[in-house]
């Protein structure tokens, strides 16, 4: 027998990782994980020149707002960098409770719980409220965090066509199980920029006794009064059980939230593994989100500017006859239909100083390969002109 010094037995996992096709392609074409420098508004240095950021989710542009930066700095100086553990084991801090109270009040809910990532918050709602045997009606285009949560729940999942009330009606009618039912939706679909057809979908789910969960990561800060989100936009606050979302978009921080009735949030605190066994959001992050929430309510011009920019950008794309998949919000895809076209377009935009992100199947449905762009309140008129010129250039390259 050979000594382990001289030979290593075959390791299929190592081989699988080394030979992975996706990784090889990613490293060859390098479309992701670029290293960008210090931002000045929505401009960042990249490989020796400046690029305009057109793919971040800083919708209100608050990540560089002086009050948000100061709040994060002060909280870090006062509390340190981390509470280094889960709240179930080493306790909450007043900054957690304050942020949760403010978010709950803003969303007109009794209670709220914050996590260290939006992915965790949304995943845990789907992992914890549905149980094995329950039936979840899920929009086919839900974000990956919700699918991961559903897998952990062991519930039966019935998918319906994206944002399609007729299909939900059919799927629900064909489900004869007496088990508890849950409706899983996004407020604003992150890739497509579609606003959820919430009034119709809820009206179909309600006769089946559906418990409703809305991931409003991209509706929060964007839709509704002062940015209260999609549920508020449709004035359906009393008909949605759980709103979850992210602190890393309009709230210019990192983390996530789950808001609902006190009973539901307390249930989550005792039953959600992701809540019980994961470290708390750090002080600086919580303070940044709280400051951004305050600004949303006191400085309405960020929201106004976001929508003015969105209207201008959408009109620009439509004039250029680009397919924006019917986006209704600042999350705006440019659908090009194949990964080859997406790559050419993406490279051309980058060449002209516009930073975007490619999204190709299976991350999007086949034939919907796209460049995902998102508008911020801090995009300037001059940047809009440059974006226009870059789009014209990229179109010629196709």
The binding site for ligand PLP (CB under 6 A) comprises 117-119, 122, 143, 145, 186, 190, 215, 217-218, 246, 248, 256
Q: Whole-number minimum distance, CB 138 to ligand PLP, in Å?
A: 13
Q: Whole-number minimum distance, CB 48 to ligand PLP, in Å?
A: 29
Chain-centroid distance of CA 132 in Å reads 26
Nearer to ligand PLP, 123 or 322 (CB): 123
| 3-state secondary structure at position 33 | coil
Q: Among candidates 29, 60, 67, which has minimal Cα distance to 222?
A: 60
Crossing angle (nearest 10°) for helices 339-351 and 381-397: 130
Neighbour order of strands in the sheet with 111-115:
111-115, 256-260, 242-246, 211-215, 181-186, 135-139, 156-160
DSSP-assigned beta bridge partners for residue 258: 113, 244
Q: Whole-number minimum distance, CB 385 to ligand PLP, in Å?
A: 28
Q: What is the DSSP string of 371-393?
A: EEEE--TT--HHHHHHHHHHHHH
Nearer to ligand PLP, 100 or 215 (CB): 215
Q: Whole-number minimum distance, CB 329 to ligand PLP, in Å?
A: 12
61: left (phi over 0), alpha (psi -120 to 50) or beta: left
Nearer to ligand PLP, 83 or 190 (CB): 190
Contacts of 94 (CB under 8 A, 6+ apart): none
List the structure tokens of 372. 């995902």
Nearer to ligand PLP, 217 or 390 (CB): 217
Backbone dihedral angles phi then psi of residue 44, each to the nearest 5 degrees: -135, 145
- Whether the bond into 362 is cis, omega within 30 of 0: yes
The length of the chain in residues reads: 398
47: left (phi over 0), alpha (psi -120 to 50) or beta: left
Chain-centroid distance of CA 313 in Å reads 21
Chain-centroid distance of CA 192 in Å reads 12
Q: Whole-number minimum distance, CB 215 to ligand PLP, in Å?
A: 5
Q: Whole-number minimum distance, CB 210 to ligand PLP, in Å?
A: 20
Nearer to ligand PLP, 118 or 390 (CB): 118
Q: Whole-number minimum distance, CB 179 to ligand PLP, in Å?
A: 26
Nearer to ligand PLP, 71 or 217 (CB): 217
Q: Whole-number minimum distance, CB 209 to ligand PLP, in Å?
A: 25
Q: Where are the beta strands (DSSP E) in 70-200?
A: 111-115, 135-139, 156-160, 181-186
Nearer to ligand PLP, 121 or 309 (CB): 121
| 3-state secondary structure at position 84 | coil
Residue 20, H or E segment: none
Q: Whole-number minimum distance, CB 314 to ligand PLP, in Å?
A: 20
Nearer to ligand PLP, 190 or 359 (CB): 190
Nearer to ligand PLP, 61 or 256 (CB): 256
Nearer to ligand PLP, 197 or 386 (CB): 197
Q: Whole-number minimum distance, CB 327 to ligand PLP, in Å?
A: 14
Measured from each CB, the residue nearest to ligand PLP is 118
d(CA 204, CA 159): 14
């Amino acid at each position: 027998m050979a000594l382990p010094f001289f030979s290593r037995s075959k390791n299929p996992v190592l081989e699988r990782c080394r030979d992975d096709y996706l990784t090889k392609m990613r490293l060859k074409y390098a479309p992701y994980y670029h290293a960008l420098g210090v931002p000045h508004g929505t401009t960042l240095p990249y490989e020796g020149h400046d690029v305009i950021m057109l793919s971040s989710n800083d919708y209100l542009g608050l990540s560089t707002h002086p009050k948000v930066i100061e709040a994060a700095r002060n909280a870090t100086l006062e509390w340190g960098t981390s509470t280094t553990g889960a709240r179930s084991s080493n306790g909450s801090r007043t900054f957690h409770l304050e942020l949760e109270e403010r978010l709950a009040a803003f969303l007109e809910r009794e209670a709220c719980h914050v996590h260290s990532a939006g992915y965790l918050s949304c995943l845990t709602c789907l992992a914890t409220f549905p149980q094995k045997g329950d039936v979840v009606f899920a929009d086919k285009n839900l974000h990956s965090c919700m699918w991961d949560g559903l897998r952990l729940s062991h519930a039966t999942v019935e998918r319906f066509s994206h944002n399609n009330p007729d299909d939900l009606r059919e799927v629900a009618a064909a489900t004869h199980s007496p088990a508890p039912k849950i409706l899983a939706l996004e407020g604003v679909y992150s890739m497509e920029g579609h606003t959820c057809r919430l009034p119709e979908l809820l009206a179909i789910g309600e006769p089946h006794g559906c418990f409703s969960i809305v991931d409003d990561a991209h509706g929060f800060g964007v839709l509704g009064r002062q940015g209260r989100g999609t549920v508020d936009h449709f004035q359906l606050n009393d008909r949605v059980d759980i709103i979850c979302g992210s602190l890393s978009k309009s709230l210019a921080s990192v983390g996530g939230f789950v808001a609902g009735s006190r009973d539901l949030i307390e249930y989550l605190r005792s039953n959600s593994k992701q809540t019980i066994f994961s470290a708390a959001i750090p002080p600086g992050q919580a303070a940044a989100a709280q400051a951004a929430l305050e600004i949303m309510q006191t400085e309405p011009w960020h929201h106004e500017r976001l929508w003015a920019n969105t209207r201008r950008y959408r009109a620009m794309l439509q004039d250029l006859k680009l397919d924006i998949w019917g986006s209704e919000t600042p999350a705006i895809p440019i659908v090009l239909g194949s990964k080859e076209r997406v790559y050419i377009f993406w490279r051309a935009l980058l060449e002209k100083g516009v930073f975007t992100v490619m999204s190709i199947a299976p991350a999007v449905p086949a034939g919907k390969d796209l460049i995902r762009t998102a508008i911020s309140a801090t995009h300037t008129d001059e940047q809009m002109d440059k974006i226009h010129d870059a789009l014209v250039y990229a179109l010629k390259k196709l």
